């Protein structure tokens, strides 16, 4: 049991290492709270949460620590619902990047997760590209981010 937990932790950590620069690129880092394109209060590198208040400021170190914690949490959520993809670190990193952006619950209920769990990895990678809408509108930034995630996912096959 302990061996499998260490193994799962190592797989999650590997996905986080690969996902970190992707998330940093697409989220950017802002050292204060701000409303995102759909009005969600956000800070640092795409961090959201009930503890945020408009006008808060953060150091680069605080933002780095928050990103590490948030990625870990999202990768663990992805692992719980699609554990086999972690055998392919780039696939797991692409799914983790998506979950970081849309939430673990949304990812786990997605066509991508269903396809991965069915062993249809190419279809799962392609399905990552569906998350391009915010408030019913296509966002150009999401189209570009999803394209990068799909490409990373396909590289991992």
Q: Which residues of 20-45 are buried (b: 16+ CB within 10 A; e: fewer)?
A: bebbbebbebbeebeeeeeeebbbbb
CATH number at residue 56: 1.10.530.40
pLDDT score for 26: 96
Compute the chain's Rg from CA coordinates.
15
- The span from the CA of 78 to the CA of 84, in Å, is 10
Contacts for 5 with CB less than 8 Å, ≥ 6 apart: none
- Give the confidence band of 1 by pLDDT, cuts at 50, 70, 90: very low
What total number of domains does the chain contain? Answer: 1
pLDDT at 46 over 80: yes
* pTM (global) more than 0.75: yes
pLDDT tens for 60-92 read 999 999 999 999 999 999 999 999 999 999 999
**Domain range enclosing 91:** 2-155
- The span from the CA of 2 to the CA of 140, in Å, is 44
pLDDT at 41 over 70: yes
pLDDT tens for 95-149 read 999 999 999 999 999 999 999 999 999 999 999 999 999 999 999 999 999 999 9
Instruction: Tokens 């050292």: give the residue.
Output: 31
φ/ψ region of 137 (left if φ > 0, alpha if ψ in -120 to 50, else beta) reads beta
């Amino acid at each position: 049991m302990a061996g499998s937990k260490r193994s799962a932790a190592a797989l999650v950590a590997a996905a986080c290492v690969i996902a970190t620069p992707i998330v940093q690129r697409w989220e950017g880092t802002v050292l204060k709270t701000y409303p995102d394109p759909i009005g969600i209060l956000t800070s640092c590198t795409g961090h959201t949460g009930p503890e945020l208040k408009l006008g808060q400021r953060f150091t680069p170190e605080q933002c780095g620590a928050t990103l590490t914690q948030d990625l870990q949490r999202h990768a663990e959520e992805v692992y719980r619902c699609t554990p086999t993809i972690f055998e392919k670190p780039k696939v797991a990193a692409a799914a983790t990047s998506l979950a970081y952006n849309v939430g673990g619950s949304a990812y786990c209920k997605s066509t991508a997760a269903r396809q991965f769990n069915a062993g249809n990895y190419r279809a799962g990678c392609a399905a990552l590209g569906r998350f391009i809408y915010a408030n019913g509108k296509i966002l150009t930034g999401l189209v570009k981010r999803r394209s990068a995630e799909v490409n990373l996912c396909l590289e991992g096959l």
